[in-house]
A and B are shown apart, each in its own frame.
Chain A
Amino acid sequence: AQSVTQPDIHITVSEGASLELRCNYSYGATPYLFWYVQSPGQGLQLLLKYFSGDTLVQGIKGFEAEFKRSQSSFNLRKPSVHWSDAAEYFCAVLVGGYGNKLVFGAGTILRVKS
């Protein structure tokens, strides 16, 4: 069955430090992968996506992610975290081939220390 695992429930980093959020997926076909961010009480904002091509993808707000097929991973990175990055981050895979169904990971809550 398709699944997405985000091993870290909480992560705390200092402002200005680098960030890496982990995501592993299980999906038999070509994965279409996404990272979304959610601030408290808000909807989900798309940070970036991977469909094909270059395995390092750039997103909004200075985020990037690298797709590694051999490791079934799609980790999110940012070189220097800002206090405004504190939020919950979700990795997701689009499944089903025909139609739109996202399977989400459990999310990682990012706290930023000043």
Chain B
Amino acid sequence: KAGVTQTPRYLIKTRGQQVTLSCSPISGHRSVSWYQQTPGQGLQFLFEYFSETQRNKGNFPGRFSGRQFSNSRSEMNVSTLELGDSALYLCASSLALTGPYEQYFGPGTRLTVT
């Protein structure tokens, strides 16, 4: 089974621009979660989508948003980029039917804001 894929792998943007990252979950997985990883703050949860609905949200400003499509693919968008948004953005997918399930991570998108 193919793993979680994320595109693009690398991005360079300028302050004030917006960016869209894409995530394709493992086939059959309906939950997609997004995390931000930075040297200073570590791994932080952004949000989770399940069946096209946001089910959980972390403590990030409204500039960070996401959505999920009917095929479970997900996108996250960051508007009005700031230097501090430079990070590795990781997507994870999970079966997430009932009860706890493990999450499987993609390789990440490395975003650099200049």
Contacts and interface: CB of A to CB of B under 8 A. Distances in A.
Interface in A87-114: 90, 92, 94, 96, 98-107
Contacts of A43: 4, 90, 105-108
B33 A101 contact: yes
Interface string B1-19: 0001000000000000000
Interface of B: 4, 31, 33, 35, 42-43, 45, 48, 50, 55-56, 58, 90, 92, 94, 96, 100-108, 110
A45 B107 CA distance: 9
Contacts of A104: 42-43
Contact of A100 (B4, B96, B110): B96
Given A99-B48, A102-B33, A105-B42, 4 more contacts: A34-B102, A96-B56, A102-B45, A106-B42
Given A90-B43, A107-B42, A102 B103 contact: yes
Interface residues of A, number: 25
A56 interface: no
13 contacts: A43-B4, A43-B90, A45-B105, A49-B102, A96-B56, A100-B33, A100-B56, A101-B33, A101-B48, A102-B43, A102-B45, A104-B42, A104-B43
Contact of B103 (A41, A51, A100, A103): A100
A105 B43 CA distance: 8
Contacts of A103: 45
Contacts of A63: none
B50 A99 contact: yes
Top 8 closest A-B pairs, CB basis?
A104-B43, A99-B56, A44-B105, A43-B105, A99-B55, A32-B100, A43-B107, A101-B56
Contact of A98 (B4, B42, B55, B58): B55
